[in-house]
Amino acid sequence: MKEYNVAILGATGAVGQEFLKLIEERNFPFKELRLLASKRSAGKIIPFMGKDYVVEEATHDSFNGIDIALFAGGAASKEFAPSAVKAGAVVIDNSSAFRMDPEVPLVVPEVNPEAIQTHHGIIANPNCSTIIMVMALKPLYDLSRIKRIVVSTYQAVSGGGKEAMAELEEQVKDLAAGREVTAKILPSASLPKHYQIAFNLIPQIDVFKENLYTKEELKMIDETKKIMGDSSMRITATTVRVPVYRSHAESVNVEFEEEVDLSEARKALSSFPGVILHDNPEEQEYPMPLFTSGKNDVEVGRLRKDYSVDHALNFWVCGDQIRKGAALNALQIAEYMIQNDMFH
Ligand code: 3JN
């Protein structure tokens, strides 16, 4: 089998570390592996598959000879993507920098793999909440066009990175020990105010825009339309941070153009790759973030009719934010390209 030279930009973060786990787990065919990060992390040793890798500081020359550049996300994406493309690499980028660029495909391989073909060097990985939602929407959309979506998210702290995960853990320990709690990261490190996440919910993910939506909410709306190839779908979203480590959950209400039979919907979801229908109310069985964490599949449950309006369903979906919401989806894009001989 052909092997590829792979670079990971942001190798020391939560998504970067998950890339490594998945490369090993999935036997990803790599020849050379270059671990890149900011100056702050350069020099760190990362043991991986029996070898010690030294993290290098990312520079514009870091991508020479690289076939696949996996970008974990953040501000570095915008800075380094052009040099990586110039060096001949295909960039699979986790940040929002290029997602809405009409020249850049925005891809969930189970949903719109055909978009990959149109790439010019950069392929964007959608926002985690978007990926998890569209995994459940696509099999339903194939039964009947979706007119309108109302979604509320319950997002794990992993979406805020390693520091936000550490903050939740620390706050829980502090509270249990009767110590005072400090909040420095959530809802967003760059903002002036921070709130306790332990035993709390924060109805703000990312910054507010002029229309009073947060950036996270607008990402879900815009990205879903682009991935599903339907700009006339009406979507509204409320995104909330919850004290959960690494699986996002979403309550989704979907209004279809035509009547969708519940058993047809169940069949479509069950047979869709990457989705598990976990829905057995009689046995009190439904997806929960505790049990989807560390898993590759997205789980759907609580599927039922919305009797308040014609042709509508409600469901609940859970998925690991760092896996399918980020690193796994990106790696699946690379795997699809390998399988279809798309690297030159
Ligand atoms: O908070 C979450 O649960 C998801 C966070 C995503 C995120 C955080 C900072 C910057 C993104 C993203 O992937 O949309 C970005 C960004 O790239 O804009």
| Annotated catalytic residue 248 | yes
- Longest CA pairwise span in the chain (Å): 59
- Indicate the SS3 state at residue 217: helix
pLDDT digit string, tens, across residues 271-303? 999 999 999 999 999 999 999 999 999 999 999
pLDDT digit string, tens, across residues 166-181? 999 999 999 999 999 9
Mean pLDDT value across residues 45-66: 98
Which CATH architecture does the domain made up of 130-320 adopt? 2-Layer Sandwich (3.30)
Mean pLDDT value across residues 20-36: 98
Index of the ligand 1 atom closest to the CA of residue 216 = 14
Class of domain 4-126+326-339: alpha beta
Contact 236, 151 (CB under 8 A): yes
CA angle 130, 131, 137 (to 5 degrees): 85
- 19 Cα–ligand 1 center, Å: 17
Can you give the pLDDT at residue 240?
Answer: 99
The active-site residue, picked from 60, 194, 248, 278, is 248
pTM over 0.85: yes
Mean pLDDT value across residues 158-170: 96
Mean pLDDT value across residues 316-338: 98
pLDDT band at residue 344 under the 50/70/90 scheme: confident
Can you give the pLDDT at residue 314?
Answer: 98
pLDDT band at residue 113 under the 50/70/90 scheme: very high
Any residues with CB less than 8 A from the CB of 32 and at least 6 apart, and which?
5, 6, 65, 66
- 6 Cα–ligand 1 center, Å: 23
Index of the ligand 1 atom closest to the CA of residue 248 = 3
Contact 275, 300 (CB under 8 A): yes
Mean pLDDT of the chain: 98
User: If DSSP states are collapsed to H, E and C, what string results for 291-331?
Assistant: HHCCCCCEEEEEEEECCCCCCEEEEEEEEECCHHHHHHHHH
pLDDT band at residue 1 under the 50/70/90 scheme: confident
Can you give the pLDDT at residue 257?
Answer: 98
Query: What token pair was written down for 64?
Result: 């020479």
Best mutation site among 128, 186, 197 for ligand 1 pocket (most ligand atoms within 8 Å of CB)? 128
Ranges of each domain in the chain: 4-126+326-339, 130-320
- 194 Cα–ligand 1 center, Å: 17
pLDDT digit string, tens, across residues 183-209? 999 999 999 999 999 999 999 999 999
pLDDT digit string, tens, across residues 261-273? 999 999 999 999 9
Mean pLDDT value across residues 24-29: 98
pLDDT digit string, tens, across residues 71-97? 999 999 999 999 999 999 999 999 999
| Annotated catalytic residue 60 | no
Query: What token pair was written down for 190?
Result: 């760059």
The active-site residue, picked from 60, 119, 120, 128, is 128
Index of the ligand 1 atom closest to the CA of residue 321 = 3
